[in-house]
Structure formats: C-alpha cells, structure tokens
Amino acid sequence: MINRHYLSMLSNKSVIRELSEYATARGAEIGYENVFDYSLGNPSVPAPPVFAEAALRFLREEDPVALHGYAPTTGIPSVKEKVAASLNRRFGMDYKACHIFPTAGAAGAIAHAVRAVTEPGEEVLVFAPFFPEYYPYINTTGAVLKIVDPDTEAFQINFEDLERKLTPSVGAVLINTPNNPSGAVYTEETLRRLAAVLEERSAAFGKRIFLISDEPYREIVFDGKKVPYTARYYDHTLTCYSFSKSLSIPGERIGYVAVSPACEHADDLVAVFGQISRGIGHNCPSSIVTLAMAESLEETSDLSVYETNMNLLYDTLKELGFTVTRPGGTFYIMPKALEEDAVAFCRKALKYDLILVPADSFCAPGYFRMAYCVETEKVRRSLEAIRRFVREEYGK
C-alpha cells in the first residue's frame, strides 16, 4: 500500500512552487522579462569562477578511480579539515575535522541535526515566521514542530512565548538567521538571551536542549555588518550551513553541519550523522562538488546586487505607506499586505504581473514575501507596476 503520510503531503504543495510555476507559464505568454517574479529564492547571480575551475581541475587531473569512488561515511577528511580551519579563522571557533559533516545543502544538514538530537515525539521549537519546508524537515523525522509566536516589531525572538513553550517535551530549538522570510538578523543580545534561556531550562529539566542554527544566508548581510556567529553564544549548537546562496549553487546540493567542540556528545555526533545517513540514503554529497566547495570556502558570488535590490524595494514600499521592517540580510523582504487577507492581496497583484507570495505558509498571515533575487533592471521596472497596483487597487 502507498504510504498514507506522504500521500497526504501531496495535497499540501508548496505555495511558492505553485506561484513560480504560474510565473513561468505567464512568461511563456507575455515574455518572462515582463513578469515581475518575486516568488522563488533561486540566486540570480552566477557562481564565482573558482568553483567550476576547481571542479574541472579535479576532473582533468585526479585519478578517476579515487575521485569517483565512495567517500568515507562522514565525509572527505581533507575537506572537513579545510572547512574547520576556515570557520576557526573567521569566527574564532575551535573546530576540528571530526566536527564537520558535509551534507546535501542546508536541507540535508537539518535532516541529520534534527534526527541526531531528538527522540520521536519530542518537540522542535521554531520561531514564526519560518521557512515552510521546516514542516517536512522536522515532521518526517518523528519529532514534532512547535511554533513560537513572532516578535512582529523587529522579527527577533518573542521571549515571553518562548519561555511558555520551552517545556521538558522540547528536544531542540531551530533558529534561522539571517531569516527567510523576514530578512532579520538576530542580534548579539538576542543570541545571548536565547543561550541563557536554553542553559537555564536544560539545567532545570535535567536534559540538554540543543540549538540547531540554520544559516544558509550568513554571507548575505547588509550595511557592511557581520552576522553574529550563533555557536559562539551557546556551546550546544549544531550549525547547519549551505553554499546554495553564497556560491549560487543550489542545484549542486552542498553544505555541512558543524558541531560545536564544546557541545554535549560532540565526539559522537558526527559518527551518529553517519549512521543517520545510512538510514535515509544520504551517503555523502557528490565528491567533485564537495572537493570544489573546499576550494571556494572564502569566496562568494557578487552578492551586492541583493542589497541594491533591497534598498530599491524598501524605499518604494515605505514611500507607498507599507508597514515593513528593513531587512538586515538575505534576499527577502516581508511587508504587511494592504488588506487583512494577504492571499487576496497577492491574487490582485497578479493582474499587474507581480508575483508576490502570501506569508501565511510562513506562519505570518497578513504579510507577503518578496524574493528579490532578480536582476536589478527588472526590480527597477517592477517599481512602476507596484505603484500602479497600489494606486488602482487601494487608492494610495
């Protein structure tokens, strides 16, 4: 018999994907250049040449039997060493190769992290608004996703609600900074306070509550700032990273989990990830991609376009009277819709070929998300469409 759980997920398809498919179909009718598609978080800038050059060099120069062979269960040692050294240099950490586990992107990283530090039935707290894929990431592991209400002022953490929901049933807390969809970057103060709450509750419950920090947008940060490195604030952190956005290679599926050296069970966790891989058929990312990633650790695509786009959109949205928090990073912005029903708002926007995503599925009803990983020239042209939409539909 077909599995009923997965079958039921078919009726719960991603709104983002559906809107993106609509945008593609509309593009076939009127030319994609005329569709202002703000639906999907697919990077719009090319990967830095170093990545492809490294992959080609490996293909040309390495022994094919060794290059294409199975990698060790917990990843290629030389790559793990390079990742650890880079993190240590950049963030003042003390990782060793044995703390690093290469994965298929952040999705693969979270799949391992959640399974490793929760038992079936335990809760994983997530903070609204959050990436809707967290539902399948968590709920297919046997753990249960539980939502902490948002801080709608600055999209930091609503500590009152966190403290209410942080019960002995919680095995892990999952954060995402810089945040999809709000663009908020957690401040040092937020991370310190979160760490203090987790320490206090872990001691009170006599069990360790782990922190899983999802950081695929770590390098996309604005105003010349740096994103505070979560693992520096709480020892029991599993850092889930991805090169999908920083190197613009989401199709290559490469990232890692870094286990903090001072984390409880630090010496066992990566080996445990290896066992989880056996069960979920992960078996390490592609060797060539993993090796090329290790040659590109200190590189990024030209990410400046996202800040340019953010400023264009933020200024226009503010001028038009939207309630919106200025993003500190990512390539997302999450304004409040001009009517209570953001789905109706986004549906009206389609008339102007503006593809906006209602944030209901991000657990932020009444808001909408724009993914501005789009050419700046198109963003500029879309501003007139946004103005017309707001004027004609809302008289502003």
Ligand X SMILES: Cc1ncc(COP(=O)(O)O)c(C=O)c1O
The residue number whose beta carbon is nearest to ligand X equals 105
246 binds ligand X (CB under 6 A): no
Interior angle at CA 276, CA 127 and CA 230, nearest 5: 35
Compute the least distance from the CB of residue 364 to ligand X, in Å: 14
274 binds ligand X (CB under 6 A): no
Query: Which residue, 106 or 209, has its beta carbon nearer to ligand X?
Result: 106
| Nearest-angstrom CA–CA distance, 66 and 43 | 32
Compute the least distance from the CB of residue 135 to ligand X, in Å: 12
Residues from 36 through 95 that contact ligand X (CB under 6 A): 41
Compute the least distance from the CB of residue 250 to ligand X, in Å: 5
Among 156, 244, 246, 316, which residue sits at the site for ligand X (rule: CB under 6 A)? 244
One-letter amino acid for residue 7 of the chain = L
Query: Which residue, 237 or 244, has its beta carbon nearer to ligand X?
Result: 244
Compute the least distance from the CB of residue 17 to ligand X, in Å: 12
| Nearest-angstrom CA–CA distance, 110 and 238 | 9
Query: Which residue, 221 or 386, has its beta carbon nearer to ligand X?
Result: 221
Please give the full DSSP string across 80-107, using - where no structure is assigned.
HHHHHHHHHHHH-----GGGEEEESHHH
Q: Which stretch binds ligand X (CB under 6 A): 26-34, 100-108, 343-351, 378-386?
A: 100-108
Tell me how far CA of residue 277 lies from CA of 96, 243, 255, in angstroms. Answer: 21, 20, 14
Residue 261: CB atoms within 10 A of its CB come to: 17
Q: Which stretch binds ligand X (CB under 6 A): 22-30, 105-113, 275-283, 382-390?
A: 105-113
132 binds ligand X (CB under 6 A): no
Please give the full DSSP string across 26-87, using - where no structure is assigned.
HHHHH-GGG-EE-------SPPPHHHHHHHHHHHHHS-HHHHTSPPPTT--HHHHHHHHHHH
Among 43, 75, 102, 105, which residue sits at the site for ligand X (rule: CB under 6 A)? 105
Compute the least distance from the CB of residue 331 to ligand X, in Å: 10
Structure tokens, 259 = 């286990």
How far is Cα of residue 96 from the mean position of the Cα atoms in its chain? 24
Residues from 211 through 240 that contact ligand X (CB under 6 A): 214, 216
Among 106, 212, 259, 356, which residue sits at the site for ligand X (rule: CB under 6 A)? 106
255 binds ligand X (CB under 6 A): yes
Among 237, 242, 248, 290, which residue sits at the site for ligand X (rule: CB under 6 A)? 242
Compute the least distance from the CB of residue 235 to ligand X, in Å: 23
Compute the least distance from the CB of residue 241 to ligand X, in Å: 8
| Nearest-angstrom CA–CA distance, 192 and 266 | 21
Instruction: Say what angle helices 376-394 and 342-350 make with each other, to 10 degrees.
Output: 110
Among 36, 95, 101, 131, which residue sits at the site for ligand X (rule: CB under 6 A)? 131
127 binds ligand X (CB under 6 A): no
Number of residues that bind ligand X (CB under 6 A): 13
Compute the least distance from the CB of residue 240 to ligand X, in Å: 8
Tell me phi and psi for residue 82, to 5 degrees. Answer: -65, -40
Site string for ligand X, 174-203 (x = CB under 6 A): --x---x-----------------------
170 binds ligand X (CB under 6 A): no
How many Cα atoms occupy the beta-carbon half-sphere of 40 within 13 Å?
13
Structure tokens, 251 = 């199709």
Compute the least distance from the CB of residue 391 to ligand X, in Å: 32
Of 297, 288, 279, the residue nearest 112 (C-alpha): 279
* Cα torsion 320, 321, 323, 327: sign: positive
Of 242, 38, 218, the residue nearest 137 (C-alpha): 242
Compute the least distance from the CB of residue 231 to ligand X, in Å: 17
List of residues contacting ligand X (CB under 6 A)? 41, 105-107, 131, 176, 180, 214, 216, 242, 244, 250, 255
